[in-house]
Structure 1
């Protein structure tokens, strides 16, 4: 029984990151804040959203986000404000524009280059093997060689 309670507490711990004093009175604004904060990375915890993290910086980001929403910012404006302040690393799902586009495309491009090099290598090897087989003796040459070896 105590293992079940411990497991439930561990599973519920990310839900406890947002403190009661951070929660907005307006349920619609709070829902927007929760939705946005799931896409923002805690800069201390790396791969946790600010909604899941108990770090002080995550708390500061949650409060900043809620302040921007109360001030009347749209979801996009609030995210842009935080990105301008902390950099694009704060996004759990980075954009695919600018310098990031190069990073997103680098993997597939390298894969295509490697596949092309592999195909070229295999093609040259098969051509070399065909050339080696064409250098083999004809039936007439083999007969002549057999006669020479017997004498």
Structure 2
């Protein structure tokens, strides 16, 4: 059994850190929602809660992708793969992984480009008037890490 290289170890540590960021996003969403509900009872809702929860949920999903993939936590439809002999099943897995790398690689590039466009345009959110580009940049980082994890699966 070979030891993982420094790149694989770095990607694994990055995925673990990213999972902690996803957990922090979930905790912040929960806190914002609960606080808003309680304050609505006293007729003092928090402005921008819906917007904040939307941003945090997008970040949470993007940050969770890499670690979930490393741990094999995705729901997979393995109906066909389970019925195949080992060699074709391995070929199918590699083909799907390559398609995912291509698809999410292109999405990552486009999201990064979009983040820069939003920064140049000084785009802000409707209610809170906060810059939108850092959220898109965070999603881009999460998806980029996901692509890196997928690349390590091709060994």
| TM-score interval, normalised by the smaller of the two chains | under 0.3
For CA contacts below 8 A with separation 6 or more, give which structure has more relative contact order.
2
